[in-house]
Amino acid sequence: MDLQQLHQIQPYLWTLPLKPGESRKEVLLYGSKPLLESMDDKVLEQIANVASLPGLVSAAMTMPDAHWGYGFPIGGVAAFDAEQGGVISAGGVGFDISCGIRCLRSKLNIQDVRPHLSTLADRLFHTIPAGVGEEGLLKLDTKQLDQVLLGGARWAVQQGYGREADLEFIEERGCMAGAVPANVSELAKKRQRGEMGTLGSGNHYLEVQVVDRIFDTTAAQAFGLQENQIIISIHCGSRGLGHQIGTEYLVSMAKAAGRCGIHLPDRELACAPIKSPEGQQYIGAMNAGINCALANRQILTHLTHETFMEVFPNSELETLFDVSHNTCKIEKHKIGGKSRVLHVHRKGATRAFGPGHDTLPERYRAVGQPVIIGGSMGTGSYVLAGSSDNPAFASASHGAGRALSRHQALARWHGKQLIGELAQQGILIRSRSMRGVAEEAPGAYKDVDLVAEATEQAGLARRVAFLRPLACVKG
């Protein structure tokens, strides 16, 4: 990205000045100079388009890990006010509705796990359905799926997957209100019948990690984190159902936008007024998609726990937190000293409520919400805590962000060779797809350390701990 076109407001905050005749709200880009320089120009074009949508409040924003997405940039945040003609955008939520990360903490440490790491990786690979063509053990009919779409992780716990205690540490306590399964197509439900409890492929993973470094001892204590402790992160979403919802509503909203008098600078920004029948219908379907993702990660949590019990009898895995990064949520935010109810789109961005927020579990309320920035399989991930003065509708980064396209990665790395190189560094990869491994090469991602540092410096969230990968199951 050419920074000449930007104006730097603060060391980690930039804006795109309006061109003569241009009509849009403000654009704010959070990040360091090197991170912004490495971003594709498309990010700027896309976020400027978002800033032109009706009913946008304050500004359209990008997080430090932003990259070129669909209509919205990945790492894009935008809040809309329904009372001011604000819109809901399927492109602003993303195709993998409620894609997110479930982070589990164990009572094991690196010394306990290292001698059994290969066995653990093999067992997880055997148990967790991952990658193309793999189905879950559950086969649900439409009626059962409707229960999933209404109940989310709560449904999964009721079926015996995981524990009631997990729910407290999942956003929305594991169950998103306002889900309308009837707004989800039959094809979407059919796609999902065999996909509950599956990881998927692409950038999704299940990773065994070790707490390598603590940055904030108070928050780490609240999150139950200490150096050398074993952590598990599960990154996945609403699988085929979420994508089917996304694609179907994207096309129908793109067609409806004209009827609603909305000019779309990019069809992928397809949206409808929040108060319109089209908007309400999508919101009901999207909330159902969120519950699908929450249930999926809950089932995977259960499978992971069972596998750990096989290798380490009596081991306990507790949910540290489950946070989604492809959503639109109704939240109250103070704008100009007044509390307003907004529809906050986070496309590849994590909610990051600060200390004292009333929706946080009591255990974390004093330090803020756990925010998880997932890195590549060779570098590591970060746990952060939401900042009280977050200026971006309580949002933060969600990952490292790609530096190279999948095609470029495929041309540069070979899956088998990469697995060998990572093994020499003590990182075990288990995957059926060598193509998938090559596309997800650590070198294809930006420096996660820079993203986490910029996230903190921009006042979005505070670094709490760095997690180093030990074993990774990839789709």
Partner 1 sequence: MNKRVLSKNTKMISHYFEHDADIGIIGRGSTIERAFESAAEVVFAIVTNLETVQPDISVAFEFEEENLEFALVTWLNLLLGKARELGMVFCHFRIHRQGNLWQAEALGEKWHADLEHGVEVKGATLTMLSVKQIGEIWEARCVVDV
Q: Is 235 annotated as a binding residue?
A: yes
312 binds partner 1 (CB under 8 A): no
Q: Is 326 near partner 1 (CB under 8 A)?
A: no
Which residues, in sequence order, are bridge partners of residue 67?
74
Among 159, 281, 301, 433, binds partner 1 (CB under 8 A): 433
Contact pick of 14, 68, 125, 282 for partner 1 (by CB under 8 A): 68
> Could you say whether residue 413 binds partner 1 (CB under 8 A)?
no
Q: Would you tell me how many other CB atoms lie within 10 Å of the CB of residue 54?
A: 17
Q: What are phi and psi of 437, to 5 degrees?
A: -65, -45
375 binds partner 1 (CB under 8 A): no
Can residue 69 be called a binding residue for partner 1 (CB under 8 A)?
A: yes
Q: Measured from the CB of residue 350, what is the shortest distance to partner 1 in angstroms? A: 17
Asked if 398 is an active-site residue, the reply is: yes
Residue span binding partner 1 (CB under 8 A) among the ranges 143-151, 156-164, 246-254, 367-375: 246-254
Q: Contacting partner 1 (CB under 8 A), which of 16, 29, 121, 254?
A: 254
Nearer to partner 1 (CB atom), residue 246 or residue 368: 246
Structure tokens at 4: 């000449």
Quick one: 257 or 320, whose CB is closer to partner 1?
A: 257
Q: Interface with partner 1 includes 146 (CB under 8 A)?
A: no
Flag whether 343 is marked binding. Answer: no
Q: Does 405 bind partner 1 (CB under 8 A)?
A: yes
446 interacts with partner 1 by CB under 8 A: no
* Interaction between residue 19 and partner 1 (CB under 8 A): no
Q: Which of 116, 255, 363, 416 binds partner 1 (CB under 8 A)?
A: 255
- By CB under 8 A, residue 40 contacts partner 1: yes
Binding mask 156-195 for partner 1 (x = CB under 8 A): -------------------------------xx-xx-xxx
Q: How far is the CB of 255 from partner 1 (least distance, A)?
A: 8
* C-beta atoms surrounding 297 within 10 Å: 32
Find out whether 145 is annotated in a ligand binding site.
no
Residue among 67, 302, 398, 414 flagged as catalytic: 398
Closest distance to partner 1 from the beta carbon of 209 (Å): 23
Q: Would you say 206 is a known binding-site residue?
A: yes
Does position 270 interact with partner 1 (CB under 8 A)? The reply is yes
Q: What whole-number distance in Å separates Cα of residue 378 and Cα of residue 437?
A: 11
Residue 31 sits in the site that holds partner 1 (CB under 8 A):
no
Residue 329 annotated as part of some ligand binding site? no
Give residue 234's identity as a one-letter amino acid code: I
Task: Tell me if 72 contacts partner 1 by CB under 8 A.
Answer: no
Is residue 346 part of the contact set for partner 1 (CB under 8 A)? Answer: no
Q: Compute the least distance from the CB of residue 454 to partner 1, in Å.
A: 18
| C-alpha atoms less than 13 angstroms from C-alpha of 48 in its C-beta half-sphere | 15
414 sits near partner 1 (criterion: CB under 8 A): no
Residues near partner 1 (CB under 8 A): 40, 42, 67-71, 74, 95-96, 131-133, 135, 187-188, 190-191, 193-195, 200-202, 240, 243-244, 246-248, 250-251, 254-255, 267-268, 270, 402, 405-408, 432-436, 439, 475
Annotated binding site for GMP: 203-207, 325-326, 374-377, 381, 398-401, 474
Active site residues: 398
Binding residues for Mn(2+): 96, 204, 235, 325
